[in-house]
Amino acid sequence: MNEPPAQISLEQWHHRYTSLRAAGFHEAPYGGPLERHFTAGDYRLAQLRFDNSAAALRLWNFLLTETERLFAAQRAGKKIIGTMKDLGTVPIMAYALPDTIAFYPDGTWWIPCIMRQSTRDLAIADSLGIDESFCPVRAMLGAFETHQHFPPPDLLICSVGATCDDFSAIAQRLASRGLAILWWEIPARRTPEPTEEAIALPGGFLAGGRQVDFVQAELQRVSAALAKTVGHEVTDARLAEGITAANRIRDMLRQLRNLVFTAPRCPLPALEMLIAEMLAIHYCSDRQQTQEVLGELLAEVLRRIAVSAGTLPADAVRVFWVNPVADLQAMNLLEECGGRLCGTEFMFCHALDPIPTDVAPMEALARMALADPMIGPSADRAKRIMHDVRQFGAEAVLISRIPGASHCALEGSAIRAIIQRESNVPVVEIEVPPLNEGVRASLRTRLEALVETVRRRRTS
Amino acid sequence: MASGIVAYSSPFVPAEWIAAHRLTPLRLTPGPSVVAAGAGICPFAHDFLQASQVPGVADGVIFTTTCDQMRRFAEQARASLPTFLMNVPATWQTTEAVGLYVAELRRMSEFLITLGGHAPTAEELRQTMEAFDKIRRNGSFESRAQWEKDRGGAAGDTLPMNLASSEKGFIRIALVGGPLRKQDAWIAEHLQHAGATIVLDATETGERTLPAPFDEARVRTDPLAELARAYFLTIPDAFRRPDSLLHDYLSREVQARRIRGILLIRCVWCDQWHAQVARIKDSLGVPVVEIDLGQDDHDTPRIKTRIDSLLDMVR
Amino acid sequence: MICAGIDGGSRALKVVIFDVAAQKILASAVRDQHVDHNGLAEETFGALLREAGLQRSDIKRVIATGYARNLIKAADTTMTEITCHAVGVRFLCPQAMTVIEIGGQDSKLLRLDPPPASTVRDFAMNDRCAAGTGRFLEVVAARLDTTLSELGSLAERAASPAAISSTCVVFAETEIIGLLASGVAREDIVAGVQNAIATRLTAMAGSHLESPILFTGGVALIPGMREALERALANPVTLSPQPQITGALGAAILAGRSIK
Domain ranges in chain B are 5-152, 171-205+236-314
Q: Say how many CA atoms lie within 13 Å of A285 toward its Cβ.
A: 27
CB contact under 8 A, A410 and B41: yes
Topology of domain B5-152 in CATH is Rossmann fold (3.40.50)
Q: Is the dihedral of CA C183, C187, C190, C196 positive or negative?
A: negative
**Nearest chain B residue (CA) to A215:** B96
Please tell me if residue A133 touches chain C, with a CB cutoff of 8 Å.
Answer: no
**CA–CA dist C237, C243 (Å, integer):** 13
Residue C122 is nearest to which of A427, A433, A456, comparing CB atoms? Answer: A427
Instruction: Give a yes or no: residue C210 inside a domain.
Output: yes
Identify all chain A residues contacting B85, using CB atoms and an 8 Å cutoff: 188, 190
CB contact under 8 A, B302 and C203: no
**CA–CA dist A45, A60 (Å, integer):** 10
C-beta of residue C233 within 8 angstroms of C-beta of residue C201: yes
C-beta of residue C172 within 8 angstroms of C-beta of residue C197: no
**CA–CA dist A204, B127 (Å, integer):** 45
**CA–CA dist C192, C165 (Å, integer):** 9
Q: In terms of domains, do C148 and C80 share one?
A: no
**CA–CA dist C97, A376 (Å, integer):** 34
Give the distance from CA A202 to its chain's centroid. 18
pLDDT of residue A148: 86
ipTM entry: 0.94
Give the number of other Cβ atoms within 10 Å of residue A99's Cβ: 12
C-beta of residue C224 within 8 angstroms of C-beta of residue C59: no
CB contact under 8 A, A214 and B277: no
CB contact under 8 A, C178 and B297: no
pLDDT of residue B147: 43
Please tell me if residue B71 touches chain A, with a CB cutoff of 8 Å.
Answer: yes
Q: In terms of domains, do C234 and C249 share one?
A: no
Instruction: Give a yes or no: residue C89 inside a domain.
Output: no
Topology of domain A70-238 in CATH is Rossmann fold (3.40.50)
CB contact under 8 A, C129 and B39: yes
- For residue B56, which of B36, B18, B93, B28 has the smallest C-alpha distance? B28
| Beta-bridge partner residues of A207 | A199
- The interface residues of chain C toward chain A in range 33-92, judged by CB-CB distance below 8 A, are 67, 79-83
**Nearest chain A residue (CA) to C204:** A413
Instruction: Give a yes or no: residue C26 inside a domain.
Output: yes
Query: Which pTM does this prediction carry?
Result: 0.89
pLDDT of residue B162: 46
CB contact under 8 A, C175 and B302: yes
Reply yes or no on whether the pLDDT at C82 is more than 70: yes
Higher local confidence (pLDDT), A155 or B151: A155
Instruction: Give a yes or no: residue C52 inside a domain.
Output: yes
pLDDT of residue A189: 97
**CA–CA dist A294, C7 (Å, integer):** 47
- The interface residues of chain C toward chain B in range 186-245, judged by CB-CB distance below 8 A, are 199, 202-203
- B171-200 as b/e, with b when 16 or more CB fall inside 10 Å? bbbbbbbbbbbebbbebbeebbebebbbbb
Q: In terms of domains, do C199 and C180 share one?
A: yes
> Per-residue confidence at A128, pLDDT binned at 50, 70, 90?
very high
Reply yes or no on whether the pLDDT at A152 is more than 80: yes
Give the DSSP letter string of C102-166: E-SS-EEEEEEPSTT---EEEEEE--SS-TTSHHHHHHHHHHTT--HHHHHHHHHT-SSPPP--S
The domains of chain A are located at 70-238
Q: In terms of domains, do C56 and C110 share one?
A: no
Q: In terms of domains, do C111 and C235 share one?
A: yes
C-beta of residue B314 within 8 angstroms of C-beta of residue B280: no
**Nearest chain C residue (CA) to B269:** C167
How many interface pairs between B and C have CB atoms less than 8 angstroms apart? 50
Mean of the pLDDT values across residues C160-183?
72
CATH of residue C39's domain is 3.30.420.40
Instruction: Return the amino acid letter for A448.
Output: E
Reply yes or no on whether the pLDDT at B256 is more than 90: yes
Among A85, A86, A172, A429, pick the best mutation site for testing chain B contact (most B Cβ within 10 A): A172
> Per-residue confidence at B302, pLDDT binned at 50, 70, 90?
confident
Residue A51's SS3 state is strand
> Per-residue confidence at B155, pLDDT binned at 50, 70, 90?
very low
- In which domain, by residue range, is C66 found? 1-84+244-260
pLDDT of residue B153: 35
Q: Say how many CA atoms lie within 13 Å of B256 toward its Cβ.
A: 7
**Nearest chain B residue (CA) to C131:** B39
Higher local confidence (pLDDT), B170 or B146: B170
**Nearest chain A residue (CA) to C124:** A428
Q: Say how many CA atoms lie within 13 Å of B244 toward its Cβ.
A: 10
Reply yes or no on whether the pLDDT at A118 is more than 60: no
**CA–CA dist C50, C105 (Å, integer):** 31
pLDDT of residue B161: 46
**CA–CA dist B43, A410 (Å, integer):** 12
| Beta-bridge partner residues of A102 | A81
Mean of the pLDDT values across residues A58-78?
95
Per-residue pLDDT tens over the stretch A97-117: 999 999 999 888 777 667 655
β-pairing, B60-64 with B83-86?
parallel
Q: Where are the beta strands (DSSP E) in A28-110?
A: 50-51, 79-84, 100-103
C-beta of residue A274 within 8 angstroms of C-beta of residue A328: yes
**CA–CA dist C111, A416 (Å, integer):** 13
Reply yes or no on whether the pLDDT at B158 is more than 60: no
Identify all chain B residues contacting C178, using CB atoms and an 8 Å cutoff: 298-302
Q: CATH assignment of B171-205+236-314, given 3.30.1220.10, 1.10.10.10, 3.40.1260.20, 3.40.50.11900?
A: 3.40.50.11900
Residue A362's SS3 state is helix
- CA–CA distances in Å: residue C108 to residues A429, A449, C22: 12, 12, 30
pLDDT of residue C30: 95
| Total count of domains within chain C | 2
Reply yes or no on whether the pLDDT at C37 is more than 70: yes
Please tell me if residue B4 touches chain A, with a CB cutoff of 8 Å.
Answer: no
Helix (H) or strand (E) holding B175: strand B171-177
Lowest mean pLDDT among A338-347, C71-80, C199-208: C199-208
Give the number of other Cβ atoms within 10 Å of residue A374's Cβ: 22
pLDDT of residue C260: 67
Helix (H) or strand (E) holding B292: strand B288-293
| Beta-bridge partner residues of B203 | none
Give the number of other Cβ atoms within 10 Å of residue A459's Cβ: 7
Reply yes or no on whether the pLDDT at B116 is more than 50: yes
Reply yes or no on whether the pLDDT at A74 is more than 60: yes
No. of helices (H) and no. of strands (E), chain C: 8, 10
- A437: phi then psi, degrees, rounded to nearest 5: -55, -45
Higher local confidence (pLDDT), C164 or B161: C164
Helix (H) or strand (E) holding C17: strand C12-19
